[in-house]
Structures are given as C-alpha cells and as structure tokens.
C-alpha cells in the first residue's frame, strides 16, 4: 500500500485496482484496450461515513487494507502522483475478500 494525498468524503473509498495480468490466447497477445477491467482491489483510504437523516455520521464498514470486489463500471478513475486509483461509494462494493 502506498501513502496517498487523497481524503475521500462521506461514504466514498479510494481503491487501488489489482493489475490485470497480461493475457495470451493461443499465440495472440491481448492488448490492454481489449482486457476486462479489474473488479477487485485494495482499499487505500476511506471517508468518515454517510450522514443519517438525523445528521449523525454512520461510519463506513470498510477499512484501509481490505481487498474488495466492486461493480465493473463503478466509481471514477483518477490519477494522483502518477498512480491510478478508483473512487467509489461504499454501496458499490459487493464483497470483502478474506
């Protein structure tokens, strides 16, 4: 895990996607543009949580270091200090990988 300068707001988390391995099918190399987007990664930062209707903060269930599965088209891709991250809402996380 790397130290980043992003602090997500509310119930958003910052995820570092796992690298998709290079693929060969037969003798053909599959280029990056044809590869499936990774759908799992490591939580790098979490926001404080979402606000309830009463104004109380409900903390996120995720912690820094959790490996998670998320929807294929979830979140927003950002590049900070030359590294690529995904900022997604906690609700877009499908599962924690143990």
Distances (CA, A) of 39 to 4, 6, 65: 21, 21, 16
The helix (H) or strand (E) run that includes residue 83 is strand 83-89
pLDDT of residue 25: 54
pLDDT of residue 21: 53
Q: Identify the helix (H) or strand (E) that includes residue 87.
A: strand 83-89
Determine which of 5-9, 25-29, 93-97 has the lowest per-residue pLDDT on average: 25-29
CA 49 to CA 7: how far, in whole Å? 12
Q: What is the pLDDT of residues 59-75, one digit of tens each?
A: 999 999 999 999 988 99
Q: How confident is the model at residue 5 (pLDDT cuts 50, 70, 90)?
A: confident
Chain position carrying tokens 């895990």: 1
Closest CA to 4 of 46, 39, 63: 46
State in words which class domain 12-97 has. Answer: mainly beta
What pLDDT, on a 0 to 100 scale, did the predictor assign at position 30? 62
């Amino acid at each position: 895990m790397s130290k980043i300068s992003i602090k997500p707001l509310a119930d958003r988390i910052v995820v570092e996607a796992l690298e998709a391995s290079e693929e060969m099918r037969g003798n053909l190399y599959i280029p990056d543009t044809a590869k499936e987007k990774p759908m799992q990664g490591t939580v790098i930062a979490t926001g404080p949580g979402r606000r309830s209707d009463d104004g109380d903060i409900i903390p996120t269930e995720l912690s820094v270091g959790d490996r998670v599965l998320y929807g294929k088209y979830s979140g927003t891709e950002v590049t900070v200090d030359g590294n690529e991250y995904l900022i997604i809402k906690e609700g877009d996380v499908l599962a924690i990988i143990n």
